[in-house]
Chains A and B, each alone.
Chain A
Amino acid sequence: MGLRAYIAKRIVYMIILIFLVASFNFVIFNMMPGTTLAKYVANVKGKMTPERLEKLKQQFGFDKPLHERYLMYVRNMLTWNFGESYEARRTVEEEITERLPITLVLMGISEIAAMIIGILLGVIVAHKRGSTLDTALVTVSLSTYSIPIFWIGWLMISFFSIRLGWFPVGKITPAWWATNPPANIFEDIGGRLYCLFLPATTLFIFLVGGWILLTRAVMLECITEDYVLTAKAKGLPDRTVLYKHVLKNASLPLVTSIALTFGFLIGGAIITETVYSIEGMGRLVWRAILTTDVPIMQAFFYISALLVILANFVADLIYGVIDPRIKYG
C-alpha cells in the first residue's frame, strides 16, 4: 500500500473516530441527569425572553424526536455551531475564545518546557545510566510524578505567594496594572507571564518527570543496539551518537506521546486552574460539568478529541519521516 492509500485509510479512520466521539457526546450528555430542556427552562424561567427560548429550542431541536435531534446535533458539530451556553447565556464560541488563550498559554508553556527539558534530561540520564545523576533524576521524576498536582500547587502558593509574597494568586494580570497599565507590548506579555509563572511551574513539575522517564526508557531500548556501537566505533562524538542515532531511532514513542498531550492541553488544566483560581478553559469545563451545561461540554469534548485525532494523524505521517523503514500499510 502506498502513501496515498495509507493516508486515505487513516482519513477514513479519523472520520469514523470523529463520528464515534460526536455520537458518544450526544448519548452521554443526553443521559446526564438534569439536562432536559424542561429542567433547564424551570431554571431560567423569567430570565429569558420567549423568542430566545424558541430560538434555542429550534437550534437544539428539543421539540423534535430523538433521532432528528441527533441528526441536527451532528450537523451542528460539523458546522462548528455549538450553540449557546445554558448558564452564561452567551454563545459557546464566545466563552471559548475568551478563555482558550489563557489556558493555551498556561498549558503550552508548561508542556513545551516540560517536553524539551524532559527529553534533554532523559537523553542525558540514559547516556549516564547507573550514575548518581541518573539515580537522583529518576528518583525525583518518580516522586514528582506521584504527587497530586493540586498538592504541589498548595505548597507553591503557601511558600511563594503567601510566605514570600513573590507572586499573586488568582489573577491573570498583575495588580499594579490597575493604576499603572502596561506601556508597551513587552510589559503586557511580561505581566501576564509573571502571573502565570506559579501555575505553569506547578504543571511543569508535574509533567517533566513523565518526559524524563519516557525518554530514558525508550533511549535505553535503543542504546544497546549494534548500530550505536558502530557509530561509537566510527569515532563519532557522543553527542552526535546520542541525538542523531539513538534519539532519532527512539523517538517514535515520543512522537506518539506528544500527539496524546494535545488531549491534555485543554482538559488538563482543570485542577491547576482550580487551585490557582484562574478563569480559563479548565474552570469553564469544570463548571459546565457541575451545572450540566451541555453545549459547553459537547463542544469541549468534541474539540478536545478532534485535536488528539488530528495530532495522531500528523504523528502517523511524521513516523514515516523519522523512520523511513516504516512502510505505510
Chain B
Amino acid sequence: MAKRKDKVSFTISRFKGFWDQYKESKRGLIGITIILLFGVIAIIGPSITPYDPIRPRMSGYYPGQQPALAEQLCVPVWYKNLPGGQNISENLKVVPDHEFTSKEKFEEEWSCMYAPSQYNITVRHSETGGNHDNDGCIEISYKRKSDEPAPSNVSIILTKEFEYPFHAPPKSIWMHLSCFIDNKTTLPKFPFAMNIRLRRGNEVFPVMSWHEITSDMIASRWWHDKGKTAGPVGDIEEKIFTKAGNYTYEFELIILDGEGEEKDLTIYLDNVDMILYGNAFGLLGTDNEERTPRDLFTRLVHGTRVSFIIGLLTAFFSILIGLTVGLVSGYCGGAVDEILMRFADFMLVLPSLPLLIVLVMVLGASIWNIIAVLIFMGWMGFSRSVRSMVLSLRERPFVEAAKASGGDTFYIIRRHILPNVFALVYVSLATAVPGAILSEASLAWLGLGDINVASWGMMLYDFQQTQTALVRGIGEYWFWVLPPGIAIALMAMAFILMGFSLDEILNPKLRKRR
C-alpha cells in the first residue's frame, strides 16, 4: 500500500512531467496566459470598477431622483487627446458638496445677496438641519413685523462660481433641489418663486424657474424637484456654454410678500445641485440605456466574470453528465446502453440553436436557466466518445484481471476505466467552455439574455437594439462593439488553445514522432 506522502509526490512529479511537455506548446502557453489574465480580471475587476454595471446612478444623496451616471452614448474620455478633441466635454458637478455637510465649504464657495436689504433676512449654514441625516443645509430666515411696509418681492440670491474647462457644451444639464419651509404665519396662495440661472460675465441665462409654488407644497414636509434640460442642437446648453471659462450658478428665491401681516419664515434648502453631463465618459463611453446609461468599461469588466461562470459551470456539468452516461452505457451495455444512446441520438438530431432558444423561452431567460439549458444540450458528443473508449477498455486484460479478483462494477469503473478516460475529460473540459460562452453570447444577442446580468452578449444585444449596425455600421461606436466581441473571441480562443495543446499531449495518436 502506497503511503499518502508517496502518492502526493507521485502526483506532483507526474504533473511536473506534464507541465514540462505543456510548456513546449506555444499555443498552450498563450491560451493559459490569456485565461489567467481574464481570471484576474474576473476576480478583482468588479470590485475595482466603481459603477454598477446594470443600473448605475451617481453617488450621493438625492431624494428626488438619483441622477444618471452620464449621458447616453458618450464617447470615451480619452478622445480629448485625439485630433478633434476640443469637441469633448466631460461631466461636471457644479456643487461639490450638495448636501451641505461642511460649514467652511459653504462659506467659502457660496455667496449671497438679497434685496431689499432693510428687512431682517439671514442666510447661513445650519449644521443640524437638512433633509438627510440632518447633515447640514442652508437656512434662510425672513422676518417682517406688521408695522414694517410690505416689500412685495424679496429676492434672495445664492451664487456659486465654477470653472467650465471644456470647449464643447455639455449634452444636458441636470438640476436638483430640496426645500422645506417652516412658516409661522399665514401666507398667500403662491408665496414663493424660484429661479435657477447661469451667468457668464454680464450675460445671464435663465435655466429653470418655478413660479407657482404653493405654501402647502412645501409646508411641513420637504419638497424635492429635479429637472433635466436636454435636447436637440440649439438648446440652452449650446447657447450658454459656448466657451470654456468662469461661470456662475445662481439660485434665486423670491418671497412674495405683498400683504400687511407679520411674516416669520424659515426656509431650508438642501441637495441643491447642478450636473453638466458631457459627451464623454469613462474609458469606453456609455451605452444608450434610457434612464441609466451604463459605463461600457464597467460592463466589459463585469462580463468577464459572467462568461467565466457560464463557461466553467456549463463545461463542468455537461462533461460530468457526458462522462457518467458514457461510462454507464459503455460498461453496462445492453438495454441501458441502447436507451441512453438513443436518447443521445435524439438530442443530436434536433437543431441545436432553435432548441436552445425554445427551451430558454419556456424556462425564462435567467442566467441559471441558460446555464441549465446549455448543460442539458452539451453532453451528447462527449458521452459518445467516452462510450466508445470504454467499449474498448472493458475488453482489456486488466479489467478482466480486476473482475477475476472480485472487483465490483463500481470499483472497476472507478479504478480501472475512469483513469484511462481522464485525458479525454481534460481536453473536453477545455473545449466545452468556448461553446458555452459563444452560445450564451448568441442567445443574449438574439434577446434571450438575462437583463440583470452584465454579460458581453448583452452589451452586443444593446447595440443591436440601436439598429445602427445596418445603417451606419459600427464605425462610430467601435468602442461599444469591438471590446466585447474581442473579449468573447479571446476567451473562447484561449480555452480552445488550451484544449488543443492538452489534446496534443494527452492523445497518444497525435504525439509527434520523436
In the complex where A142-B497, A154-B481 touch, is A33 in contact with B470 (Cβ < 8 A)?
A: no
**Which single residue of chain B is at the shortest CB-CB distance from A19?**
B346
A146 to B31 alpha-carbon distance, docked (Å): 13
Partner of B351, one of A161, A170, A286, A301: A301
Partner of B496, one of A33, A142, A263: A142
Q: Kindly specify which of A101-109, A173-181, A186-194, A304-312 makes contact with the partner chain.
A: A304-312
Partner of A158, one of B358, B446, B475: B475
A109 to B350 alpha-carbon distance, docked (Å): 22
Q: How many residues of A contact B (CB 8 A)?
A: 62
Partner of A143, one of B470, B481, B489, B509: B489
A271 to B357 alpha-carbon distance, docked (Å): 12
Are the C-beta atoms of B353 and A270 separated by less than 8 Å?
A: yes
A268 to B457 alpha-carbon distance, docked (Å): 18
Q: Which B434-489 residues sit within 8 Å CB-CB of chain A?
A: 434, 438, 441-442, 445-446, 457, 460, 464, 469-470, 472-475, 481, 485, 488-489
Is A21 at the interface (CB under 8 A from chain B)? yes
Interface flags for A256-279 (1: CB within 8 Å of B; 0: not) read: 000010011011101100111100
Interface flags for A71-105 (1: CB within 8 Å of B; 0: not) read: 00000000000000000000000000000000000
B3 to chain A, nearest CB (A): 40
Are the C-beta atoms of A150 and B442 separated by less than 8 Å?
A: yes
Partner of B470, one of A16, A170, A264: A170
Are the C-beta atoms of A21 and B470 separated by less than 8 Å?
A: no
Is B2 at the interface (CB under 8 A from chain A)? no
A32 to B361 alpha-carbon distance, docked (Å): 8
Is B386 at the interface (CB under 8 A from chain A)? no
A202 to chain B, nearest CB (A): 13
Q: Kindly specify which of A37-45, A50-58, A114-122, A217-225 makes contact with the partner chain.
A: A217-225
In the complex where A148-B485, A150-B460, A271-B445 touch, is A17 in contact with B349 (Cβ < 8 A)?
A: yes
| A157 partner residues in chain B, CB cutoff 8 A | 469-470, 473
Interface flags for A284-305 (1: CB within 8 Å of B; 0: not) read: 0110010010000100110011
Are the C-beta atoms of B362 and A148 separated by less than 8 Å?
A: no
In the complex where A148-B441, A170-B470, A301-B355 touch, is A143 in contact with B493 (Cβ < 8 A)?
A: yes
Are the C-beta atoms of B473 and A146 separated by less than 8 Å?
A: no
B389 to chain A, nearest CB (A): 14
B25 to chain A, nearest CB (A): 11
Are the C-beta atoms of B349 and A286 separated by less than 8 Å?
A: no
Are the C-beta atoms of B353 and A267 separated by less than 8 Å?
A: yes
**Which single residue of chain A is at the shortest CB-CB distance from B473?**
A158
Is A246 at the interface (CB under 8 A from chain B)? no
Are the C-beta atoms of A146 and B346 separated by less than 8 Å?
A: no
A161 to B475 alpha-carbon distance, docked (Å): 12
Is B500 at the interface (CB under 8 A from chain A)? yes
Are the C-beta atoms of B346 and A220 separated by less than 8 Å?
A: no
Q: Which A155-174 residues sit within 8 Å CB-CB of chain B?
A: 155, 157-159, 161-163, 169-170
| B349 partner residues in chain A, CB cutoff 8 A | 17, 21, 263, 305, 308-309, 312
Are the C-beta atoms of B446 and A277 separated by less than 8 Å?
A: no
Are the C-beta atoms of A289 and B441 separated by less than 8 Å?
A: no
**Which single residue of chain B is at the shortest CB-CB distance from A263?**
B351
Are the C-beta atoms of B358 and A32 separated by less than 8 Å?
A: yes
In the complex where A146-B434, A147-B489, A263-B351 touch, is A289 in contact with B475 (Cβ < 8 A)?
A: no
Are the C-beta atoms of A17 and B493 separated by less than 8 Å?
A: no
Is B401 at the interface (CB under 8 A from chain A)? no
B26 to chain A, nearest CB (A): 8
A295 to chain B, nearest CB (A): 14
Is A13 at the interface (CB under 8 A from chain B)? yes
| A224 partner residues in chain B, CB cutoff 8 A | 509, 513
Is A48 at the interface (CB under 8 A from chain B)? no
Is A20 at the interface (CB under 8 A from chain B)? yes
| A271 partner residues in chain B, CB cutoff 8 A | 353, 442, 445-446
| A24 partner residues in chain B, CB cutoff 8 A | 346, 350
Are the C-beta atoms of A147 and B475 separated by less than 8 Å?
A: no
Is B8 at the interface (CB under 8 A from chain A)? no
In the complex where A31-B362, A271-B446 touch, is A146 in contact with B492 (Cβ < 8 A)?
A: yes
A-B contact pairs, 6 of them (CB 8 A): A28-B359, A31-B362, A138-B27, A148-B485, A267-B352, A289-B361
- Other CB < 8 Å A-B pairs besides A150-B445, A271-B353, 9 of them? A145-B493, A146-B492, A150-B464, A155-B474, A264-B351, A289-B358, A301-B350, A301-B355, A309-B349
Nearest 5 pairs of A and B residues by beta carbon: A158-B473, A146-B492, A267-B351, A162-B473, A151-B485
Mark B residues whose CB is within 8 Å of A: 27, 342, 345-346, 348-355, 357-359, 361-362, 434, 438, 441-442, 445-446, 457, 460, 464, 469-470, 472-475, 481, 485, 488-490, 492-493, 496-497, 500, 509-510, 512-513
